[in-house]
Structure 1
Amino acid sequence: MMRTPTLVMDLSAVEEAYRRFTAVMPSIAVHYAMKCNPHGEVLATLLSLGCRFEIASAPELDRLRTLGVDPSTVLYSNPVKPGTHIRAAYAAGVRCFAFDSLEEATKLGALAPGSNATVRLNAGATRSGVPSEGKFGVDPDTAVRLLVQARSLGLRPFGVAFHVGSQMLLPQAWQPPLVAVRHMMQRLADKGIFLQMVDLGGGFPARYGVTPPPLESYAAVIERGLAALPYPVRAVVEPGRAIAAEAGTLTATVIGTAFRGGKRWIHLDVGAFNGLMESLETGNELRFPVSDSRGSAIRDRFTLTGPTCDSQDTILFDVELSADLSTGDLVHIGTTGAYTTVYASTFNGFEMPTVRCVSGSRPVGAAID
């Protein structure tokens, strides 16, 4: 019998998602955002396909190096980094660093001299499915000024990056920041600075209840924006969720049922604090596809909640499952390959999900946490 909670990652689905990006955006380099799922076999699969990577810390780089990733191909996109991480990444061979403040540029000039500096632009106020913007990024005027200052600090003004927010369902969200980039490039050219890279970030969505716009719609907006730039640049994207999410299925065991306030409750051995934190982050708006081991024809509506004593630990409301679901049955939660194990804790002493990789239906090696 399967030990739960268990996250099963289908590596063939990871491959399919990556190949989709390279087919639809053939002129744009894909750098997988490893923060969403850094499982060793996921990373190895992407590496074997020619994928590059984006990191937010030196330990993430260490994990990539154990797989044989060339650090010189890695983007360090976290705009504010500990000095020790900058020093370690630079010593390993990373040469492309993001920043969005003069203090960070000063740190980079001292700890990563001569590196390629990419300024983080605020992408605007478009709301994404998993709101994640607001912490980083500056307006275009400040971005231009920072790149000029970076040059004076011994850095190479290399590019501009932005992120429209996670689970972005509006392809047009990429248009305003690309217009801003165009104007920045024109102004920087007058100062003798010619950018070489535009980092379009992540934000590409996965299927949670509804089917998002096709990737082709995003590519069309991006390609128009890139074509309008005053001169050609290298373009990169940093997908995470769109690569890994749909490859994952999280299986949990029903540990109890209850009838409260006119509603039926199903308590699982996985919840927000040990694998499904995004249910809290989104106010339970992410509609993970759910099925169960009974598969009964008679259905009912349930609230799915986790095992802890915290009342916030609830995953989904009004979920249709088998009416006779009971303790010991299994519940399968789809589109959980991204931001599950990385957010998981042992709060209240409950276990984090184990990870098992398959290719289609075939197991692949031993699980690597």
Structure 2
Amino acid sequence: MTVTPITDSRPAPVLEMRADRIVAALDTFRAAFPGVRPFYATKCNTHPGVLRTLHEAGCDFEIASVQEMEALGGIGVRAGDLLFSNPVRAREQTARAAAAGVDRFSVDSTEELGRVADEAPGSRVYARLATFGDDSVVPSEGKFGVDVTGVVRLLLEARDRGLVPYGITFHMGSQSLDPAALLHPLQDVAAAMERLRRAGVRLEMVDLGGGFPAAYDEPVPPLADFGRAAAAGIARLPYPVEVFAEPGRCLVAEAGTFRCRVIGVAERPSGWWAHTNLGVFHGLMEVLESGGELHYPIHDARGTRLRRCYHLTGPTCDSQDTFARDVLLSADLREGDELLIGSAGAYTSVYASRFNGFAPPRVVLV
């Protein structure tokens, strides 16, 4: 691997995002899901350059907060084109979004439906269906969603409260590795649609949610496999609807590379350790969230033929701040050497903090 060293002398690590790879990933998604309209999950990476790249490529956006709405407004995205898919919002979030022009809101409880009816009367609502996400690397399900009966009840209540029963959404779990994870939720969607039709409600939209995987240090199923599973489930819906999806990780993860520096190397009874100026609390939180199952591809710029296993840990005094173990790197790795951490464009910079006073990474669009 040929590596160009960082020329910036500032100490903070850098997350480099490649615009061409973002656009290529969006093209791959569209090819895998013909007829499905992608709404980028804004929370995944909120850098203005990333958002602008996707906007200019014709991608739509899903938000979880008014703050994300305002960031998108700054690059010219109309509020009325957004999906607000966070199923539980503070009342003021709904009110501010509605005032700006957002009129599509996800719900998964009677209480949330009431807040939407109060603060965004006449809006279109889509109910969140519960899934289990057992085959996802970063489990994210269990907090939201209702069963088929709950979906039907919520959307009928929406009609009665002057809202538009618009659609159904679900989420199969982040970094899902099983395309079949789409099939059972779509069967439940079909059942709910049929029951609603018998009650006089015809939906307009089904949202496949997110969870589509990116490649890290191990192969993942191609997006085309997920697209075929989705198409099979969509074909069994009782009538045609618009189909949306909320890809995030699969659009931006592989476009990002962390460039950080070794600040110290030590041999201990537990093995060789390389301490870096980037850690779990400064962008690699998903290592903890996945219980260590998410493995970033990691290389060093020294490139020595003789290799040694290292445990890689961040600069803080917290023992949890270890983001990789038994990684083969140059045996003569030393202070000042550069490490490159690939597939780092998703759920990294957005998690970064100043824990222990260390600077979070800068994000640069290449």
What's the TM-score, normalizing by structure 1? Answer: 0.96
Amino acid at match of 2:132: G
Corresponding position of 2:215: 207
Deviations 1:158-182 (A, max 9, x none): 1000000000000000000000001
Corresponding position of 1:190: 198
1: CA distance, partners of 2:293 / 2:300: 21
Deviations 1:307-365 (A, max 9, x none): 0000000000111111110111011000000111100000000010001111xxxxxxx
Given the alignment, which residue of 71, 82, 90 partners 2:79? 71
Deviations 1:277-312 (A, max 9, x none): 111111221110000110010011010000000000
1: CA distance, partners of 2:67 / 2:348: 19
Shift of residue 127 of structure 1?
Answer: 3.1
Q: Does the aligned pair in 1 maintain the 2:135–2:177 contact within 8 Å?
A: no
Aligned residues: 358
Shift of residue 262 of structure 1?
Answer: 4.0
2: CA distance, partners of 1:329 / 1:310: 23
Root-mean-square deviation (Å): 0.9
Shift of residue 24 of structure 1?
Answer: 2.0
SS of the residue aligned with 1:46? helix
The answer as to 2:145 corresponding to 1:140 is no
The answer as to 2:306 corresponding to 1:295 is no
Matches within 5 A, 1:297-316: 297-316=305-324
Corresponding position of 1:103: 111
Matches within 5 A, 1:1-369: 1-2=7-8, 3=10, 4-358=12-366
Q: Does the aligned pair in 2 maintain the 1:206–1:212 contact within 8 Å?
A: yes
2: CA distance, partners of 1:17 / 1:191: 41
SS of the residue aligned with 1:129? strand
Stretch moving more, 235-244 or 16-25 = 16-25
Q: Where does structure 2 lack aligned partners over 5 or more consecutive residues?
A: 1-6
Amino acid at match of 2:37: A
Amino acid at match of 2:102: V
Deviations 1:37-92 (A, max 9, x none): 01101111111111000000001000111111111110000000011111111111
Structure 1 residue ranges (4+ consecutive) displaced by more than 4 angstroms after TM superposition: none
Q: Does the aligned pair in 2 maintain the 1:14–1:244 contact within 8 Å?
A: yes
Deviations 1:217-265 (A, max 9, x none): 0000000100100000110110100001000000111001111224100
SS of the residue aligned with 1:176? helix
Q: Does the aligned pair in 1 maintain the 2:167–2:204 contact within 8 Å?
A: yes
Q: Does the aligned pair in 1 maintain the 2:307–2:328 contact within 8 Å?
A: yes
SS of the residue aligned with 1:22? helix
1: CA distance, partners of 2:91 / 2:127: 18
2: CA distance, partners of 1:124 / 1:301: 36
Q: Does the aligned pair in 2 maintain the 1:284–1:317 contact within 8 Å?
A: no
Corresponding position of 1:367: none
Q: Does the aligned pair in 2 maintain the 1:37–1:338 contact within 8 Å?
A: yes
SS of the residue aligned with 2:127? strand
2: CA distance, partners of 1:24 / 1:282: 27
SS of the residue aligned with 2:176? coil
Amino acid at match of 2:314: G
1: CA distance, partners of 2:194 / 2:34: 26
SS of the residue aligned with 1:342? helix
Amino acid at match of 2:328: E
Shift of residue 125 of structure 1?
Answer: 4.8
Corresponding position of 1:366: none
What's the TM-score, normalizing by structure 2? Answer: 0.96
Q: Does the aligned pair in 1 maintain the 2:133–2:181 contact within 8 Å?
A: no
Shift of residue 94 of structure 1?
Answer: 0.7
Stretch moving more, 164-173 or 82-91 = 82-91
SS of the residue aligned with 1:259? strand
Deviations 1:172-223 (A, max 9, x none): 0000000000111110011101111111000000111111111110000000
Shift of residue 124 of structure 1?
Answer: 3.0
Deviations 1:123-170 (A, max 9, x none): 235231101111100111111111111111111101000000000000
SS of the residue aligned with 2:326? strand
SS of the residue aligned with 2:156? helix
Amino acid at match of 1:17: A
Amino acid at match of 2:75: L
